A = this chain, B = another copy of it.
Amino acid sequence: MNRSSHLDETQLLKHISLDCVVFGFHDSQLKVLLLRMKRTKDWALPGGFVLLDESIEIAASRVLRERTGLDHIFLKQFKVFSSPDRSNTNPGVQDLLDSGAIDDSSWFNQRFISVGFYALVDFSKAEPTPDLFSDLCHWKSLEDIDLLILDHNQILDKALETLRLQLNYQPIGYNLLPDRFTMPELQKLYETILGKELDRRNFQRKMLSYDILCKLEERKTGGAHKAPFLYEFNLENYGKALKHGFNGGW
């Protein structure tokens, strides 16, 4: 999908699509970017197709640029969804066609194999923007999400599972938090992703041991209690940690 008002199918690779699970963090909640389909009002993950001269990664970052206004988003493939009947589950392609939500049946009627990506973005910087087929683009809290079109619930679940796994061997936060943040904020992010509470003091000890944080002189005032220090990521070490991973194991 591009910014123009219609799909130029001749420029797209057939049978291949991509879907993005875009995570943001706000009000101590994990949010996901969703689109509402114009006519059926069904909700869907942002997605798109691959131009003839694009890699799938380039296509995904183009789609995300269109949906969020952001460039250089953290983006990772996590699974290919290819069940031959994936277009017939939940509100499926036939429902969308029947309802008129999709007017270009020849393109959408083909079988698609979809590459799932998850993305981590700074909630405060993204500007949610609908695509050609949707009238709304919104952040939704995980618990507020029910039925999505096609196999998008499955895609979302798998993305979350992958994100939780990633937490165990890679640093997270740089892409989801503002540049400067407090230790409690970082901890809350981890707790939200994991879905469980962590000990404040042990969390800080472990996080500091990774050597990816810079403690600033400044504190974050305005809260109702003792002002916590601000931190920022040490990008050099953060990058190394991303590359090499924590928890070697062996």
Contacts and interface: CB of A to CB of B under 8 A. Distances in A.
Nearest to A79: B77
Contacts of A115: 80, 82
Interface in A24-79: 50, 52-57, 77, 79
A249 B111 contact: no
Contacts of A168: 169, 247-250
Main secondary structure of the interface of A (DSSP, over half): mixed
A52 B194 contact: no
Nearest to A115: B80
A83 interface: yes
Contact of A15 (B14, B79, B165, B167): B14
A161 B100 CA distance: 46
Given A50-B82, A52-B84, A250 B113 contact: no
A62 to B, nearest CB: 13
A107 interface: no
Interface string A204-236: 000000000000000000000000000000000
A13 interface: yes
Interface string A163-174: 001011100000
A250 B196 CA distance: 10
A230 B113 CA distance: 45
Contacts of A79: 77
Interface of A: 13-16, 50, 52-57, 77, 79-80, 82-84, 111, 113, 115, 165, 167-169, 190, 194, 198, 245-250
